[in-house]
Structures are given as C-alpha cells and as structure tokens.
Structure 1
Amino acid sequence: MFGAALLVALREGLEISLIMGIIFSYLRGLNRKDTFKPVWIGAGVAIGLSIILGIILYLFTGSEEWNGQIYLETAIFFVAVGILSYMTFWMKKNSRGMNKGIQASINTALNNDSGSFQLVLLAFLTIIREGLELVMFLLAISVEGKGDLLSLSSGTFVGLIIAVLIGWGIYQGTTKINLKVFFQVMGNILIVVAAGLLINAIHELIELAIIQPGVYLYNWENILNRHSAVGGILHALVGYTDHLSSVQLIVWLVYIIPAIILFNRNKVKTVPNPTA
C-alpha cells in the first residue's frame, strides 16, 4: 500500500505543484506578488475540503464491517479506475497548453474588478479537482489494503513531499525535469495501478456473486501470499492476487492492452497534398 500511495500522491502532488508554480511564476513576472495571498487562500480551502472529504469517506470504509459496505467499496474501485484513466489521458492531451490556459485565466482575473475573488476561485477549482482525484485513488488503495492507515498516510506524505520539492525546484529554476517524459512514464505506471484496482473490483463482484469467477488459474497462497510483505507490495502496486480467476485475467487484459497502446500512440500529423 505504501508504494501505490506514494506513486499516486507523487503524480497528483506534482501536478498541483506545477500548476501552483505556473500561477506564482506568472504573477511574479507581472510584478504582482500582492496577489499571492488570494491564490494561497483558494489553494488552502481546496486542500482543506479534500482532506475533510477523505476523512469522511475513510471512516465509512474503515475496518468495521457494515451492511452494504462491500457495494460501496466496489463502486469506489470502479470510480477510481475511471477517474485515473481519464486523468492520465487528459494530462497527456492538455499538458502542452496548460501554461497558456492558466496565464489567460490570470489575465482575465487581473483585468476584472473582482480580480482577487477570481484568483481565489482559479486556485480553488484547479486544486480541488486534483485533490478529489487523489482522495478517490487513496480511498481505493485503502480499501484493498483493508484500512492500513499507517502505510497509506506515510506513502502519501512521502509522495507529496517529493512532489513539493520538485515543484519548488522548478519554480526557483534550480531543477530541470523533462515533464513530457515524466508524465509519459508516470502515465504508464498509473495505467498498471488502475488495472490492479480493476482486478480488485472484479474480485468484489465475484464475492457478491454478481459474476462467476470462471476457473482459478493458480493457487500461490503457500508460495507468495498476497498478505505477505512482498505479496502485499505487489498487490498494492499491480493488483497481484494469489488466487487469480480467468475472469479477472480477461478483464485485466481487455483494459490494459488497449490503454497502454492508446496512451503510447503518437499522433501522426498529416500534411495535405498541394492541389494542382
């Protein structure tokens, strides 16, 4: 659980750091450091609401079993897979134009009478999306880890600290990182993480007897138990299970193969033929 939480927190945290860095760098370039405070207020409110929502949802999916909990956990897995997949592809598509889009929003805010409020709103809306995404991913990881709060919180903390340090280094101009390569690598890793969450979602459906498991392909409980140290790490990162069913494998392949191909596909720009 620690490793999965660290990866997700690093990915989401770095995106937040980059966005905040773009905002502050542009405002600094305009010699408008007086507008930093509204941005911090908007970011703080978004982070606070994300934390509160995360705590509430964590309490609902804690170690105490209650009627209907398994249905909620199943829904969390599917929602996390959907959001994680969408976010990964969205970032690849929009990362190049993100800088200009944020600068345009800042210009609009500064040229408006309610500029301070618009800066608060800009920071809030930008960060709340990433915060809610992070909450959903961590919640799904928590569910599959059966509420191991220590591993979850420590992995999240380390991931966010690394993200903040990288973001601060980029803002100060002391750190250079190829963001295209970074997001490409992280995107592939997170697709694998999402596929692992999907395996757990299918496992929940099998437990609910909504679908049949087919046949179990192996039993490695005595070889590499998913509750062991190594097995637990693999389970958190890639959805490893010591009892893999044929249905889980089929769903995993149906998801991960097209996702990896589409994510790594480079669009070929076609040049129109000159007309005679």
Structure 2
Amino acid sequence: MDLQAFIITFREALEALLIVGVIVAYLTKMNHAHWNKWVWFGAFLALVSSFGAAFLFQVVLTGYEMMGSQNYLRFSIMLASCALLTHMILFMAKQNAAFQERVEAKVGAILTAGSIANLIVHSYLVVLREGVETVFFFAAISGGDIQKALTSWGALLGLIAAGVLAWYFFRGARRISLSAFFRATTVLLVLIAAGLLVQGIGVMQDMKLIGSLYRTPGGEIGEIYNITWLMPEHPQDEIHYIRDTGEKPLISGQVGIFFKAFLGYTQAPSLEEFAAYWLYLLTMYVLLTRRPKEAGRLAEPTEAARPVAQAVVGRTTAASTATSTSQKAAASATAAQDNPRASAWS
C-alpha cells in the first residue's frame, strides 16, 4: 500500500502544484505578484477541505462496516476508483504543449474581471479536485482505512517528491523532463487501475453476486491456472502450500502480498479476472498510443505509396514548370508588341 500511496500522492500533488505554479508565475510576469497570496490561500482552503472530505468519507466507511455492508462498499469503491483513474489517465494524456497557455488564458480573464474571489475559487477548485481524487484512491487501496493511507510513509514521500520536483521545475535550476515522469507514472497508474478492477471482480465473485463461465465439476468458480508454487499471494497461502506439499514456493508470500496490494496479483484467477485484467491493459494501450500512430501514418506515406507520391510530385513539378515557361513567353510577347524598339534591339 505504501508504494501505491506514494505513486498516487506524487502524481496528484504534482499536477496540483504545476497548475498553481503556472498561475503564480503568470501573475508575477504580468506584474500582479501581489495576488499570489490569494492563489495560495485558495490552495490552502482546498487542502483543508480535502482533509474534511477524508474525515467524512471515513465516517461513512465505518458506518457501512458496522452495518456489515463493508464488502458491498469495498467492491464499489474499487470499481469506481478504477473508472476514476482511467478517466484521469486519459484526460492527462490529451494535455499538450498548450496546457500552460490555457491556464494563463483563464487567469488572464480573471485579471480582466479584477475579482480576487474568482482567483481564490479557481485555485481552490484546481487543488480540491486533486485532493478528493486522492482521498477516493486511498479508500480503494487501503480497504477503507483512509487514515492508514494518509499517515503512511508513501503518502508523505510522494508529497515531498512532488514539491521538490515542482520547485526545481519552476526555478529552472535543472532541465527536468516532466513528460518522462508523467509517462512513467501513467504506466504504474494503469497497472494499479487494472489491479483494482480485478480485485473488485474477485470480491463480487466471492460474494456470489456474479458467476463465472468456467466452473469446476462441483459447480464452484474454476481457476484457469494456479501458480501458488511460484508465488503465493499471501503468507497464509504459503503456509498452506508448504503443509499440503511439503515444499516451499519459489517466491515468498511476503512478496506476493506486495504484488497483490500493488497490482492486484492473484495466484489462481478466475476466467473473468484474467480476461478483465488483460482486456483492460490492451484497451488502455490502444487508447494511449492510437493518436501518435495515426499522426505518423498521415505524416509519412508507406513504402507502397511512396513511388506514387513521387510520381504525383514529379508531374506537379513538371506542370508548374511548363505553366511558368508559358507565362514568361506570353509576357515577353506582350512586351514586344508594346515596345517594338526594345524588341528589335533584343
């Protein structure tokens, strides 16, 4: 959970800090640095509101647990978090070099209106969105114990790392490729989202809310494979495996529980869990790589089409040359008619 908390906090905090940093830098450039304090004030209010949202969310989760309905809320949060993570990943993938210009345009409109309240609200909403998303993701990765995720070293280190990176970026002390960081964290977030999806499906199958297309002769949900011998998903499963076979698995269950918490690893997946995991990864790969490939195909003709393109270019060039020659000849004839003396001398 600590690594998940680090990645989520790092990504969400970095996005919020970059947007706030762009606003502050733009205000300073436009000689309105005296408004920067209101930007930070709005960000501070959003941070307080995020902690308030975490508290209220924890109260709701505790109430469901007391009513014995925590499993229903558990898989609901997992599936909702998967959907929210997917939306965030695809949204950020669409951002381009014009991102800073769009933020500055919004701030410019606020400056034109001359409203401090609008500036506070804008910075407040920007940071609040990231804060609420973080709380929601923490609820999913911690099984409902948001306080545990908030106080983990992963969340603290993620916040510190985001602050340091944002500071270096705006100070310009070093050349930092933010796109490389976002690409790396995007891959990890996709894996986390896939894991949440699989865990949600697993919980629903355990609760008999959904069935399976593949069942054992006894009617139980079947396993398409079982690799407990390689890496159990929990230390307890490792103990059972040693008891039943007298052998130790190749990789400890302590490692397995880490991969289960981080990536949704399961030692014996059902058909639906296996299919959902790989279909999700394939779908995200297509969505995240489709546009660059299409742009590449449009920008450069294929090998088969290149001779045709060259022929068309050649014909176009020849036609242009012929047209230019004809125009020059016509111009010379006209000049000769208008000035016979010049024509005779030539």
* Pair in the same fold by TM > 0.5: yes
1:176 alignment partner, SS class: coil
Tell me if structure 2 keeps the 8 A contact 1:138–1:152.
Answer: no
* 1:220/1:17 CA distance change after superposition, 3 Å: same
CA–CA separation in structure 2 for the residues paired with 1:190 and 1:88: 8
CA–CA separation in structure 2 for the residues paired with 1:61 and 1:203: 20
- Matched residue, 2:118: 118
* 1:65/1:206 CA distance change after superposition, 3 Å: farther
Higher relative contact order (CA 8 A, sep 6+): 1
Tell me if structure 2 keeps the 8 A contact 1:188–1:260.
Answer: no
Paired residue total: 274
Tell me if structure 2 keeps the 8 A contact 1:5–1:156.
Answer: yes
Q: Deviations over 1:153-198 (max 9, x none)?
A: 3211111110011011111111322122222222122111100010
The amino acid of 2:93's aligned partner reads: K
Q: Once structures 1 and 2 are overlaid, which stretch shifts more, 152-161 or 78-87? A: 152-161
The amino acid of 2:284's aligned partner reads: A
Q: Deviations over 1:211-256 (max 9, x none)?
A: 1254122162895233543122211221112342222111111211
* 1:252/1:102 CA distance change after superposition, 3 Å: same
Residue 89 (structure 1) aligned with residue 90 (structure 2): yes
Q: Deviations over 1:101-121 (max 9, x none)?
A: 11011111111132x111101
Tell me if structure 1 keeps the 8 A contact 2:149–2:155.
Answer: no
Runs of 4+ aligned residues of structure 1 deviating over 4 Å after TM superposition are 62-65
2:68 alignment partner, SS class: coil
The match for 2:232 among 224, 230, 233 is 224
Q: Which runs of 5+ in 1 are unaligned?
A: none
Q: Report the Cα offset of residue 44 of structure 1.
A: 1.1
CA–CA separation in structure 2 for the residues paired with 1:147 and 1:236: 15
* 1:118/1:84 CA distance change after superposition, 3 Å: same
- Matched residue, 2:28: 28
Tell me if structure 2 keeps the 8 A contact 1:191–1:260.
Answer: no
CA–CA separation in structure 2 for the residues paired with 1:75 and 1:126: 26
The amino acid of 2:49's aligned partner reads: L
Residue 55 (structure 1) aligned with residue 80 (structure 2): no
- Matched residue, 1:171: 170
CA–CA separation in structure 2 for the residues paired with 1:109 and 1:44: 19
The match for 2:279 among 247, 254, 257 is 254
- Matched residue, 1:78: 79
Tell me if structure 2 keeps the 8 A contact 1:219–1:243.
Answer: yes
The amino acid of 1:185's aligned partner reads: A
* 1:112/1:267 CA distance change after superposition, 3 Å: farther
Q: What CA RMSD, in Å, does the superposition of the two structures yield over aligned residues?
A: 2.6
1:196-215 equivalent positions in 2, closer than 5 A: 196-213=195-212, 214=214, 215=222
The structure with more radius of gyration: 2
- Matched residue, 2:44: 44
Q: Deviations over 1:80-114 (max 9, x none)?
A: 11110011111110243220111011111111132
Q: Report the Cα offset of residue 64 of structure 1.
A: 5.0
- Matched residue, 1:141: 141
* 1:150/1:102 CA distance change after superposition, 3 Å: closer
- Matched residue, 2:294: 268
Q: Once structures 1 and 2 are overlaid, which stretch shifts more, 135-144 or 212-221? A: 212-221
Q: Which runs of 5+ in 2 are unaligned?
A: 215-221, 236-252, 300-308, 317-346
* 1:150/1:88 CA distance change after superposition, 3 Å: closer
1:123 alignment partner, SS class: helix
1:96 alignment partner, SS class: coil
Q: Deviations over 1:124-151 (max 9, x none)?
A: 111111111111111110118x778168
Tell me if structure 2 keeps the 8 A contact 1:221–1:243.
Answer: no
CA–CA separation in structure 1 for the residues paired with 2:108 and 2:261: 43
The amino acid of 2:260's aligned partner reads: H
